[in-house]
Amino acid sequence: MADDKDVLRDVWFGRIPTCFTLYQDEITEREAEPFYLLLPRVSYLTLVTDKVKKHFLKVMKAEDVEEMWFDFEGTPLKWHYPIGLLFDLHASNTALPWSITVHFKNFPERDLLHCPSNSVIEAHFMSSIKEADALKHKSQVINDMQKKDHKQLWMGLQNDKFDQFWAMNRKLMEYPTEEGGFRYIPFRIYLTMSDRPFIQKLFRPISPDGHTHTLGDLLKAVYPVAISNDDESKRYQVVIHGIEPLLETPLQWLSEHLSHPDNFLHISVIPAPSD
């Protein structure tokens, strides 16, 4: 039986084989070869694609290059979503490698956030961690940490250092024993068939009468559409880190073990494949 700590490692080291192809209308001096890369599920596109940029810049003139951005099958990819979430949401049931198109022009201003430097990614990452702690601990744990501790969380992610990251992150996963869990669970449920990008609400891991809430309880309360009745065939898949956890899984356990480094449970609800 796998140890709970093994789950943490499996989540951290998850990878997605990806093929980057330059958008056909980009102006090049000679033909651009596709570029292959294993992307970390828990990181962010703009943090791990320097090599992609360098590769394509070799065949382009500087004046034809603006801020790099990506799309998958015509949908601009939001760099501020973890890579694994983007894959689960848009490309779960497609063949590997994941085929992403690279752009250097016509940045979709309305749809994508700009990412001019790594400090923007760091700010976004830390902002998520702060928000998660506001939900879990009324911000007490994160505010008690020093600036260098915050930095350690970011550096751990940036440099793919599991131990360095978790040395700090474990503090964010603690809770008073008598409480039985966090104050509220940081989660977001992402929908593909809606204008609304995600659902986020206040939800406790333990009910007032002491029952442990499960993933199923969360969905029933917040997005009941995701759960099918017994008699009908399953319409949706509920995916976290590329797997479908059992709906009976305790939410507190999921929060401690399947959260992303930003301390949020990012949950995708996607149409079940009809084969």
Partner 1 sequence: MVVGVGDGVRGTHREMSSCFLDEETFCQCCQLFLQHSHSLCDGWSWQQVKGSEEGYLRKTTLGTGRTRCNQDQQGTSSDQHQERTFSLSFHDDDDDDDGAVCCIQEESSSVVQYEYHILYSCSYQTPVLYFRASTLEGRSLCLEEVWDSVHPNYRQRLQHRPWDTITQQEHPLLGQSFFVLHPCRTEEFMKPVLKAALEEHRQVNYIVTWLSVVGPVVGLDVPLSYCTQVPEPPHTPSSSPQPPALGTKPG
Out of 11, 22, 77, 115, name the contact with partner 1 by CB under 8 A. 115
Helices 147-158 & 118-137, crossing angle to 10 degrees? 120
Q: Is residue 112 a contact point for partner 1 (CB under 8 A)?
A: yes
Smallest distance from the beta carbon of 264 to partner 1, in angstroms?
A: 10
Q: Which residues of 75-93 are buried (b: 16+ CB within 10 A; e: fewer)?
A: ebbbbbbbbbbbbbbbbbe
Amino acid in the structure at residue 3: D
Cβ–Cβ contacts within 10 Å for residue 150, how many? 17
Q: Is residue 78 a contact point for partner 1 (CB under 8 A)?
A: yes
CA-to-CA dists, residue 135 to 28, 130, 176, 182, angstroms: 48, 9, 15, 8
Of the pair 19, 155, the CB lying nearest partner 1 is at 155
Q: Is residue 91 a contact point for partner 1 (CB under 8 A)?
A: no
Q: Is residue 114 a contact point for partner 1 (CB under 8 A)?
A: yes
The partner residues of 187 in beta bridges, in order of sequence, read: 265
Cβ atoms of 214 and 251 closer than 8 Å = yes
SS3 assignment, position 250? strand
Out of 48, 97, 107, 145, name the contact with partner 1 by CB under 8 A. 107
Q: Which residues, numbered 118-157, are part of the site for partner 1 (CB under 8 A)?
A: 118-120, 122-124, 127, 130-131, 134-135, 139
Out of 67, 149, 174, 244, name the contact with partner 1 by CB under 8 A. 67
Q: Which residues, numbered 163-222, are part of the site for partner 1 (CB under 8 A)?
A: 183, 186, 195-198, 200-204, 207-208, 213, 217-218, 220-222
Distance CA 190, CA 238 (A): 10
Q: Contact residues for partner 1 (CB under 8 A)? A: 50, 53, 62-63, 65-67, 78, 80, 104, 107, 109-120, 122-124, 127, 130-131, 134-135, 139, 183, 186, 195-198, 200-204, 207-208, 213, 217-218, 220-222
